[in-house]
Chain A
C-alpha cells in the first residue's frame, strides 16, 4: 500500500493539486462563500486523476504485483491525504479570518469556524463517495465522473452555505470561542462521517473496478 501511495504522489499527482490544497488562503477574503475554497481541492483531485489517465497510470498499475483493489484503496487514501492537508492548511487562515471579523458577520454564508470545517468534511465525503465509484466504473472517464460528483457536492455546499441564513441557525456563523464550542459536536460528527465513509467508498469503487476489462 505504501508503495502504491508513493507512486501516486511521485508519478500521478498533478502540481495543481498542491496549489489548490493551499486555497485555504481564500478564508481571508471578506464576505465570501468559504466552502468554495474546499471545492477547489476537489478540482485539484480531478487534475491528478486526469494526469493519471493521460500518463497511462492505469495500465502501469495493472502490471505491478498488486491486487486491483489495492490501487483503488491507494487512490482513496491519496484523496483523503490531499483533503486532510487542505483542511490543516486552512486552519491558520481560518484563525486569522476569525480575528479579522470576530463577530461572525459573513453575509454570504458560513464564517471561519468549526461549522465551516464540518461542512468541508461533509463536502469531501460526498465528493469521494460520488466521484471514486463513478471513475472506477471505467477507470478512464474522469470528466463525466467529476461532473456526476459535482451535482451532490454542489447541493451539500449550497445547503451548508444557506443554513446560517435561517434565524434559528445564526449560531453557525459565530466565530467566538463560545460559538465554536457549541459547533464542536457538528465538527466531531462530520469527522466521524468522513472517516466512516472512506472505507465504504473504497469498497464500492474497488468492487466496480474489479469488473472492468482494461
Chain B
C-alpha cells in the first residue's frame, strides 16, 4: 500500500516549471528526494503540502485526495523544513503547549518519551538548541501526534556526521513497523545510501527516475558506484575552462 501518491504535479513559475512530477511513497519506507539546487525538490514538497498552489496534478494520502481533505492530511503528517526556525526566542515548552492544541491524536506520554529519548530540555529556547536538536524536536512533535508520514526538507544539512547518523538510524527505526513512512529531500547522498528504500530523482523540474534504491543503483551502475558519483555523472555539463580566465 502507498502512503503517498503524487500524480502529474505541475507548478509553473515565470522562470521555472515543475513538470508532471509523479512518484509514490510506499508504507513503511524511507524515500529520498534528490536533485541539484533549483531542480524542484522544495517546490515539489511545497506543492504536495499545499503551501503553493499547483497548476495541475493530484496528491493522494492513504487513498484520499489531500486538496479535498487538507485538515485530515495535515493531522496525519509531520513536516520538518530545514533551515526554518520557528519562534527562536520561545521555550520548547511554550511551543509544545500551543502545538498540541491542534492535534486530536496528541499523545502526551509519547511526547515525554521522545523528549527523553532525544535528550531535549523543554525549558530551553529554540535558539539554544543545535541544528540537530531542532530537527529532533520537530520530529518529536510530529511523532507525538502519531504522524504516519514525515516530510523533511534537507533535515540533515548542517549537521555533524554523528547527528546525521543518529537521524538516519531514527528514520529506519520509525518505518520498521510498516505503518509510518519518511519522505526527505537531501544533498547528502551518503545518508540516503544508509537508509533510503527508494529514490525520486528530480532534474530540471521533471522526475528523471523514481525507483527502489536497488533498481536506481543497478540501472545507473555505468555512471558510478555511489549515489554521489551517479548524480554527478547525470548532472555534469560541458565545461569550458577558458570561460573563467
Is A162 engaged at the interface, CB distance under 8 Å to the other chain?
A: no
Within 8 A of A (CB), among B73-99: 73-75, 79, 81, 84-90, 94-95, 97-99
Is B199 engaged at the interface, CB distance under 8 Å to the other chain?
A: no
Is the CB–CB distance between B85 and A56 below 8 Å?
yes
The contact of B75 among A10, A59, A65, by CB within 8 Å, is A65
Instruction: Report the separation of the CA atoms of residues A55 and B49 in the bound assembly, to the nearest whole angstrom.
Output: 20
Instruction: Report the separation of the CA atoms of residues A202 and B89 in the bound assembly, to the nearest whole angstrom.
Output: 29
Is the CB–CB distance between A59 and B84 below 8 Å?
yes
Instruction: Report the separation of the CA atoms of residues A62 and B98 in the bound assembly, to the nearest whole angstrom.
Output: 14
Chain A min CB distance to B14 (Å) = 12
Instruction: Report the separation of the CA atoms of residues A3 and B85 in the bound assembly, to the nearest whole angstrom.
Output: 21
> Given that A11-B95, A63-B49, A213-B51 are contacting pairs, would A55 and B84 also be in contact in the complex, using a CB cutoff of 8 Å?
no
Chain A interfacial positions (CB closer than 8 Å to B) = 2-3, 6-7, 10-11, 55-57, 59-60, 62-67, 211, 213-214
Chain B interfacial positions (CB closer than 8 Å to A) = 46, 49, 51-53, 70-75, 79, 81, 84-90, 94-95, 97-99, 101-103
> Given that A59-B84, A63-B79, A66-B71 are contacting pairs, would A214 and B90 also be in contact in the complex, using a CB cutoff of 8 Å?
no
- For B98, the chain A residues whose CB sits under 8 A away are 3, 6-7, 10-11
- For A67, the chain B residues whose CB sits under 8 A away are 70-71
Is the CB–CB distance between A55 and B89 below 8 Å?
yes
> Given that A55-B88, A56-B84, A65-B102 are contacting pairs, would A10 and B97 also be in contact in the complex, using a CB cutoff of 8 Å?
yes
How many pairs of A and B residues are in contact by the CB < 8 Å rule?
A: 64
Chain B min CB distance to A126 (Å) = 31
> Given that A11-B94, A67-B71 are contacting pairs, would A60 and B87 also be in contact in the complex, using a CB cutoff of 8 Å?
yes
- For A63, the chain B residues whose CB sits under 8 A away are 49, 51, 74, 79, 81
Is the CB–CB distance between B87 and A55 below 8 Å?
yes
- For A3, the chain B residues whose CB sits under 8 A away are 98, 101-102
- For B75, the chain A residues whose CB sits under 8 A away are 65
Known contacts A65-B71, A65-B73, A213-B51; can you find 6 more A-B pairs with CB under 8 A?
A7-B98, A55-B87, A56-B84, A64-B99, A66-B71, A213-B53
Is the CB–CB distance between B84 and A64 below 8 Å?
no
A210 nearest CB neighbor, chain B only? B53
The contact of A64 among B53, B89, B102, by CB within 8 Å, is B102
Is the CB–CB distance between B52 and A213 below 8 Å?
yes
Instruction: Report the separation of the CA atoms of residues A3 and B98 in the bound assembly, to the nearest whole angstrom.
Output: 7
A4 nearest CB neighbor, chain B only? B102
Q: What are some 13 contacts across the A-B interface (CB < 8 A)?
A: A10-B98, A11-B95, A59-B81, A62-B49, A63-B49, A64-B99, A64-B102, A65-B72, A65-B103, A66-B102, A213-B51, A213-B52, A214-B52
